Amino acid sequence: MTEPSALDNLLTESRSFPPSEEFAAQANATAALQQEADADREAFWAKQAERLSWATKWDQVLDWSGAPFAKWFVGGKLNVAYNCVDRHVESGHGDQVAIHWVGEPGDTRTITYADLKREVSKTANALLSLGLEAGDRVAIYMPMVPEAIFSMLACARLGLVHSVVFGGFSAEALRSRIEDAAAKLVITTDGQYRRGNPVSLKAAVDEAVEKTPTIGNVLVVRRTGGQVDWVDGRDLWWHDVVDAQSENHTPEAFDAEHPLFILYTSGTTGRPKGILHTSGGYLTQASYTHYNVFDLKPDTDVYWCTADIGWVTGHSYIVYGPLSNRATQIVYEGTPNTPHEGRHWEVIQQYKVSIYYTAPTLIRTFMKWGEDIPARYDLSSLRVLGSVGEPINPEAWIWYREHIGAGKTPVVDTWWQTETGAIMVAPLPGVTVAKPGSAMGPLPGIGAKVVDDTGKEVGKGGGGYLVLDKPWPSMLRGVWGDEQRYRETYWARFADQGYYFAGDGAKYDEDGAIWLLGRVDDVMLVSGHNISTTEVESALVSHNRVAEAAVVGATDPTTGQGIVAFVILRGIKEDEDGTALVKELREHVAKEIGPIAKPRQVMVVAELPKTRSGKIMRRLLRDVAENRQIGDVTTLADSTVMDLISSGLNSGK
C-alpha cells in the first residue's frame, strides 16, 4: 500500500454568506489589510507590533537564521502585563470594566482596569516575596476565578513562566506537568464548583506535590470554603500573602523573546507536548487577531470567550488578546447547563454581550438541547460569533448563525493550535464571503496552504495536508526541554520545503477556500480512498436525528478500513426501531457524499469521549471499534464515558 498522497474531496457545500453592507462599513479589517501584508510582510508585522507599547524598539523584525527556531522583534523589550493592564489605566480607562466575572453559584465581581492593575501588582509583589525570579516556572491549577487571571498576569509582569494546568485534570496530570517544567510554585484554590457542587482541588495538589521536589510553596485561594489539609511552611493562603501587599509595582521590560508561558497540548493524538511561547511576537499576534477577527470595539463591545484558561484559547482570547486590546469581557466560572440549559443566553442577555466565541462541541450540544431555549432570551446584542477547537460542521454553523445570531451575524470559524499561539486561518467578518464549515483562508500576514505528500500545493478541489509556509510572530519556540520532538513533530515531514506540518488534513474547494478535515492521524483509507472523518461526521450531523457524530476507520478484511460511526441522537423515541434508523443514516451518508463513505457500522451511543477542551478523541473510539484495550485516557473530560460506550455496545444497545 502506498502512503496516502491526498484526501478525497467528498462533501460539497454551496451556501455562502457575504458580510452585510452595514457590518462591512464599520469593520476594523478591510481588504486593505491583505494588500498591506502582501506588499511587505515584515513591514506589516512591524506595524502590528506598534499596537503594543515597547520599552525599547526592536532592530530586526524577524530572525529566521536559526530555523526552525524563530526570533521576532529582535532587540525589542516590553512588559506583557503592562501592555494588558497599566497602559489602559494610564490612557484614562481605569474605570472601564475589564472583567464581568460570573461565578457558577451566581456570585459576581466587577473588575475595572484600575482594579486589575492593583490586583496584579499585589500578586506580583507576593510572588516576589516568595523568592521567585524571572525565568522560574509557576504552575497555575485553578478554576475560572479572577485570581487565575491575576496570577497569569503577575507571572508575565515578573518574567515568570506560567504553566496553566486545567483544573479538571487529575493529580497525576498535574504532577507530570510540574515535573516536566520543574515548577517552583503551584497556585490553586481550595476547591471548585462542578455543576452546582463544591469539589476539592487542593487535595489533588497535595498528592501531586508529594512527588515534585521542585515545588517550594503552594498558594491557595479560598473559593468554596471546603476543608483542606495543610502543610505548614509550604502552603500559604492567598488572602494572607497577597492581600497584605502593596498595590504598587513597577514593571520591568523583558526581551521580546523572553519566555511567557508553557502550555501542554490537549493530547487528542497522544502524549501532550509542552509548547513554549515567548513575549513580543505572541502578544502582537494575539492582539492583532483578536482585534481584526472579532472586530473588537473596545469602547462599546462586550466580549465573551467561553474557553477555560487551561487551554490555549483561554490564554490568547481571554487573557492576552482581549486585555491587550482593552476589551470589556465576561469571564464565566461554570458549566453551560448549571443551573439550567439557558445559562449562556441569560448571561448574554444580562450583560448585552456582543461578541461570543465558543466551540463546535458546545454548539452541537445547544442544538441537542433545542432551539426553543435560546429563543426565550434577548440575544439581539450579538454581532459577531466565533468557533474554535474542531471543524464546525456546516449544519452546526447554520444553526449557530440562525438561532444565536438572528440569521445575520457573521460567524468566524478560526483554525489554529496551541503551537500557533493565535488564530491563523479564519474569515475577516467585514470582508470575507463566509461558507458554513470553512475556515476560509490564512489571515493577512500568515502563509498557509494545502499540499500533497510531496509538499506540492494541491489545486482547487484537491485535498491533502495543511502546512504553514512562513514563520509567524506567535509561533511556538519549541517543545519544553525536547528539541528533538519539536523538530520531528513539526518540521521533519516537509523538511525539504521548510514547512511547518500542522498535522491536520485539509482541502481547497473550487473557489480556493480552505476546509479543515480533521487530524491526519484520523484519516480513513477505504478501498484506496482517503476519507476524512470530518466529512462523514458532517454528513451524519446534517441528518435531523443526529446531534453528534464521531467516525473512525477500523481494520476491514475487504476494504482495508471500514468506516465505523458513533452517533448521539436527538430526541430518542420510545419503542423506536433502531435498525431502521441506522439503515437510514447509512443511506443518508451515501446520498450526501457517495457510496464509498457509507459507514460499515453505525453505533448509537449516549456520550462521546472528549478531551477537556471538548475535542472528540477518535483514537479511543478506534480502540473500541477494533476491540482493543482502550489507550491513554488521562486527558479525557470524563473517564467513565469509555466504560459506558464499551458496555453499551457489548449489551447490544
401 vs 519, beta carbon nearer ligand ATP = 519
Specify the DSSP class assigned to residue 495.
T
390 is in an annotated binding site: yes
519 is in an annotated binding site: yes
527 is in an annotated binding site: yes
265 vs 278, beta carbon nearer Mg ion = 265
Output the smallest distance, CB 312 to ligand ATP, in A: 6
Output the smallest distance, CB 355 to ligand ATP, in A: 16
Is the preceding peptide bond at 339 cis, omega within 30 degrees of 0? Answer: yes
Q: What is the CA radius of gyration of the chain?
A: 24
The β-bridge relationship of strands 137-141 and 191-194 is unpaired
313 is in an annotated binding site: yes
**In sequence order, which ranges of 130-188 are alpha helices (DSSP H)?**
146-158, 171-181
Contact between 290 and 317 (Cβ < 8 Å): yes
Classify each residue of 622-631 as buried b or exposed e, where b means 16 or more C-beta atoms within 10 Å of its C-beta.
Answer: bbbbeeeebe
13 is in an annotated binding site: no
413 is in an annotated binding site: yes
191 vs 437, beta carbon nearer ligand ATP = 437
Q: Which of 260, 264, 210, 269 is nearest to 235 (CA)?
A: 210
The closest residue (CB) to Mg ion is 265
Output the smallest distance, CB 271 to ligand ATP, in A: 7
Output the smallest distance, CB 4 to ligand ATP, in A: 17
381 is in an annotated binding site: no
430 is in an annotated binding site: no
267 vs 386, beta carbon nearer Mg ion = 267
Contact between 547 and 366 (Cβ < 8 Å): no
512 is in an annotated binding site: no
3-state secondary structure of 417: coil
Q: Report the C-alpha gap between 638 and 595 in whole angstroms.
A: 35
411 vs 589, beta carbon nearer ligand ATP = 411
What, of Mg ion, ligand ATP, none, does residue 413 touch, CB below 5 to 8 Å by kind?
ligand ATP
Set of cell numbers at residue 614: 471538548
Output the smallest distance, CB 305 to Mg ion, in A: 20
Contact between 165 and 264 (Cβ < 8 Å): yes
What, of ligand ATP, Mg ion, none, does residue 439 touch, CB below 5 to 8 Å by kind?
ligand ATP
195 is in an annotated binding site: yes
Q: Could you list the residues that contact ligand ATP (CB under 6 A)?
A: 265-270, 272-273, 311-312, 388-391, 413-415, 417-418, 439, 502-504, 516, 519, 613, 615
How distant, in Å, are the alpha carbons of 220, 324, 438 from that of 12? 52, 39, 11
Q: Could you list the residues that contact Mg ion (CB under 5 A)?
A: 265
Count the Cβ atoms, other than its own, within 10 Å of residue 239: 11
125 vs 414, beta carbon nearer ligand ATP = 414
What, of Mg ion, ligand ATP, none, does residue 415 touch, CB below 5 to 8 Å by kind?
ligand ATP
The β-bridge relationship of strands 97-102 and 259-264 is unpaired
What, of Mg ion, ligand ATP, none, does residue 209 touch, CB below 5 to 8 Å by kind?
none
519 vs 586, beta carbon nearer Mg ion = 519
Contact between 531 and 597 (Cβ < 8 Å): yes
Contact between 564 and 599 (Cβ < 8 Å): yes
Q: What is the distance of C-alpha 89 from the center of its chain?
A: 29
Set of cell numbers at residue 220: 491557595
Output the smallest distance, CB 586 to ligand ATP, in A: 25
3-state secondary structure of 463: strand
600 is in an annotated binding site: no
347 vs 388, beta carbon nearer ligand ATP = 388
What, of ligand ATP, Mg ion, none, does residue 174 touch, CB below 5 to 8 Å by kind?
none
Output the smallest distance, CB 570 to ligand ATP, in A: 23
How distant, in Å, are the alpha carbons of 72, 106, 306, 397, 573 from that of 348? 38, 14, 12, 19, 33
What, of Mg ion, ligand ATP, none, does residue 615 touch, CB below 5 to 8 Å by kind?
ligand ATP
Output the smallest distance, CB 419 to ligand ATP, in A: 6
141 vs 490, beta carbon nearer Mg ion = 490
The β-bridge relationship of strands 259-264 and 161-164 is parallel
Report which secondary-structure segment, H or E, holds 445.
Answer: none
Output the smallest distance, CB 351 to ligand ATP, in A: 26
391 is in an annotated binding site: yes
Output the smallest distance, CB 479 to Mg ion, in A: 12
163 vs 266, beta carbon nearer ligand ATP = 266
What, of Mg ion, ligand ATP, none, does residue 538 touch, CB below 5 to 8 Å by kind?
none
Residue 210, CA atoms < 13 Å, CB-side half-sphere = 10
**DSSP bridge partners of 529:** 526
Q: For 323-387, where are the E strands, in sequence order?
A: 329-332, 355-358, 384-387
245 vs 542, beta carbon nearer ligand ATP = 542
How distant, in Å, are the alpha carbons of 12, 246, 512 from that of 441? 17, 48, 8
Output the smallest distance, CB 289 to ligand ATP, in A: 13
541 is in an annotated binding site: yes
272 is in an annotated binding site: no
The β-bridge relationship of strands 463-468 and 448-451 is antiparallel
Residue numbers in the known binding site are 194-197, 313, 337, 389-391, 413-418, 504, 519, 527, 541, 543, 546
Residue numbers in the known binding site for CoA are 194-197, 313, 337, 527
Residue numbers in the known binding site for ATP are 389-391, 413-418, 504, 519
